[in-house]
């Protein structure tokens, strides 16, 4: 896993650092599958394929990093931890996986 927490102790600072790392390491847009259950009645459901266009420039302590996505012509904001990249290189997908591990264990 990337050593991004070395000099950072605040969760929000670490989250914002993840934003920078992902923006520098991942090519947008990319396709992803919704890999986690969404709220009942949500138009985006587990198994849907979305296109991830960009990452929002803030960190939420409940949902983590939020990304701007499209499902068809509709735009949605989804937690990055709920998405599984489909068309990224192994290296780029590994960066997102590292973020998801950090977020799950913070």
Whether 46 maps to a domain, the answer reads yes
Residue 92 CA to residue 25 CA, distance in Å, equals 6
Express each pLDDT in 22-36 by its tens digit.
Answer: 999 999 999 999 997
CATH of the domain at 71: 2.30.30.530
The model's pTM is 0.88
Structural domain includes residue 1: no
Q: Is residue 56 one of the residues assigned to a domain?
A: yes
Domain count, the chain: 1
- Answer whether 8's CB lies under 8 Å from 14's CB: yes
Tell me the residue range of the domain where 96 lies: 11-105
pLDDT bin (cut points 50, 70, 90) of residue 70 is: very high
Judging by DSSP bridges, how do beta strands 30-34 and 64-71 pair with one another? unpaired
Give me the half-sphere count of Cα atoms (radius 13 Å) on the Cβ side of residue 33: 6
């Amino acid at each position: 896993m990337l050593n991004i927490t070395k000099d950072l102790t605040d969760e929000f600072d670490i989250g914002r650092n993840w934003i920078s790392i992902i923006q520098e390491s991942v090519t947008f847009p990319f396709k992803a599958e919704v890999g986690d259950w969404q709220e009942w009645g949500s138009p985006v459901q587990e198994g849907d394929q979305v296109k991830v266009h960009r990452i929002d420039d803030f960190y939420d302590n409940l949902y983590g990093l939020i990304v701007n996505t499209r499902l068809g012509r509709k735009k949605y904001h989804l937690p990055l931890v709920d998405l599984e990249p489909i068309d990224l290189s192994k290296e780029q997908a590994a960066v997102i996986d590292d973020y998801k591990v950090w977020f799950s264990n913070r």
